[in-house]
Amino acid sequence: MSSKISLILALIMLLLCSGCGDSDDTPSNTNGDQEDSVALGERFYLRINDVAYIESEDIKVEFVDVVEDSRCPADVVCIWSGQVNILVSISKNGEDLGNLNLISAGEGDERAAQTFDGYSITLLDVDPYPISTQVIEIFDYLIALLVEKI
């Protein structure tokens, strides 16, 4: 009888702890085809087809495509670090402002930021980082962006 009680208690503990984890910048909008509210001037994350909505400015940002990912895999030595080219779609006040390419070849790459209608959008990070033995599917990509007023 006590082994059954121990098993039940262990299962209850497992269920209770399954929602536990480290608190970090893990994004909440990572399921694709979602629209999430984000704040102007704060980092936010998108997966392919996700839309971020900055309500205070009536701006929508959609992660449209990974145009290029030629970053040197982490487990390879390269003579060029490569780059990643992300395509986002921007709309403001319901008006389509078009697509922007955000290109990053590493920290400090000025092409990772673009401007539109008095704002800037910056590509902060792209995950996962390539490994030579793994293929990155389009739905695996998670980008970190920042929109600020200029």
| Order of strands, sheet of 51-54, starting from the edge strand that comes earlier in the sequence | 35-37, 51-54, 59-69, 84-92, 95-104
Strands 35-37 and 51-54: parallel
3 state SS of 13: helix
Total-model pTM: 0.76
Q: Is the pLDDT of residue 33 over 70?
A: no
* pLDDT at 35 (0 to 100): 76
Residue 64 near residue 88 (C-beta atoms within 8 A): yes
The residues, ordered by sequence, that sit 6+ positions from 135 with a Cβ below 8 Å of its Cβ are none
pLDDT tens per residue across span 62-83 = 999 999 999 999 999 999 999 9
CATH number at 2-149: 2.60.98
Domain boundaries, the chain: 2-149
Task: Return the CA Rg of the chain.
Answer: 20
